[in-house]
Amino acid sequence: MSEPRQPEVKSSATRLVHFTRRAVLVLLLGASAAQAQTPAPAPDPENYPNKTVRYVVPYPPGGFNDTMGRIFAQKLSEAWGVPVVVENRPGGGTLIGTDSVAKAAPDGYTLLGVAFPFGTNPSIYKSLPYDTVKDFTPLIFAGQTQNLLVVRPSMPIHSVQEFIDHAKKNPGKVSYGSTGIGSSNHLSMELFKSMAGIDIVHVPYKGSAPMVNDLLGDHIDTAFDNTPNVLPQVNGGKLRALGVSSTTRSPLAAGVPTVSEAGVPGYDVTVWFGVVGPAGMRPELVRKLNTELNAILKTDDVKRRFHDQGVEPIGGPPSRFGDHIAAEIAKWGRVVKDANIKPE
């Protein structure tokens, strides 16, 4: 009869091996967890950029916002030796493209071309998906221009006062186009309506190009639009310019009076353009981008391309643009309230 089998007893050496393996496994798992929780290293401005940069334009192709984006993209790509790609993301009164940049990483690889609506949207919308001041980093005040009040040439209108008289005789029958709620086109005309005491119908579009096409096709009657967007049609006799929105005449349309001097005293709207990034960008990165963009604005060919479209290059430090945005938010908040424009 065989003896009962005794339980196997592990030697001290064997137990040590198992203990060591478990300890190493715990250390490896702990290291992996710590690595997963450690944030990615901050972008190094000295090595920036080393991959494709996106320049978001919250408008369709065709207007100056798009043109400016492509000018900057080309020049930055040439200076950096990396692709700078323009991404048109229109819609939602610029909110779609703007919000996408507000939620992007602040590493300098996502930039946003902004314009007049950036400063008016806080007054136009009851709620925004982003905070205009807190969610962005101002980079540069790129330029400014005026709007032109234009009409389709088939209208028997040749002056601001004639337009006002015609609108008063035909309340609710005259239509005007804009590039969306809160755009310079929209608020320029709403301010004009309020000051002139007229009633005309708003027809919003997703951008300047489709709006101008409908104006040329007699589908709408009139519009305020950025000088560079309609100047070629005015010079070609396809549209008739009645007035300039600012208090000074445009050097490219010297024969066109200001709206203020032509029938609505005190009327004044200036359109502006700039570049921002997401909030939280490192100061070194902001300085690098601002320096590069200022240099681009000072080149002869860029100054010529801006001036040819009626846009004055501005430039300067990021703080200048930040102050301008804050002033625009305050100004148009008052205008929207005084003109009784209801938030969307």
Q: State the span(s) of the chain assigned CATH 3.40.190.150.
A: 50-143+272-338
Let me know how long the chain is: 344
Task: Give the global pTM.
Answer: 0.76
- Among 290, 247, 291, 289, which residue's Cα sits nearest to residue 265? 247
- pLDDT recorded at residue 273: 97
Amino acid at 224: F
Which CATH code, of 3.40.190.10, 1.10.3720.10, 3.10.105.10, 3.40.250.10, is assigned to 146-262? 3.40.190.10
- pLDDT recorded at residue 31: 43
Q: Residue 247 has what DSSP assignment?
A: S
Backbone angles phi, psi at 87, to 5 degrees: -120, 105
- pLDDT recorded at residue 44: 62
- pLDDT recorded at residue 45: 62
Tell me how far apart the alpha carbons of residues 238 and 55 are, in angstroms, rounded to a whole number: 33
- pLDDT recorded at residue 312: 92
- pLDDT recorded at residue 289: 98
Q: Which residues of the chain have pLDDT under 50?
A: 1-20, 23-41
Other Cβ atoms within 10 Å of 221 Cβ, number: 24
Tell me the sheet residues that pair with 178.
Answer: 204
Do residues 106 and 277 touch, judged by C-beta distance below 8 A?
A: yes
Backbone angles phi, psi at 301, to 5 degrees: -70, -35
Pairing of the two strands 53-57 and 84-88: parallel
Q: State the span(s) of the chain assigned CATH 3.40.190.10.
A: 146-262
Instruction: List Cβ neighbours of 66 (8 Å cut-off, separation of 6 or more).
Output: 57, 59, 60, 86, 88
50-143+272-338 belongs to which homologous superfamily? Bordetella uptake gene, domain 1 (3.40.190.150)
Distances (CA, A) of 336 to 28, 125, 145, 220: 61, 11, 21, 24
Enter the tokens of residue 286.
């902001």
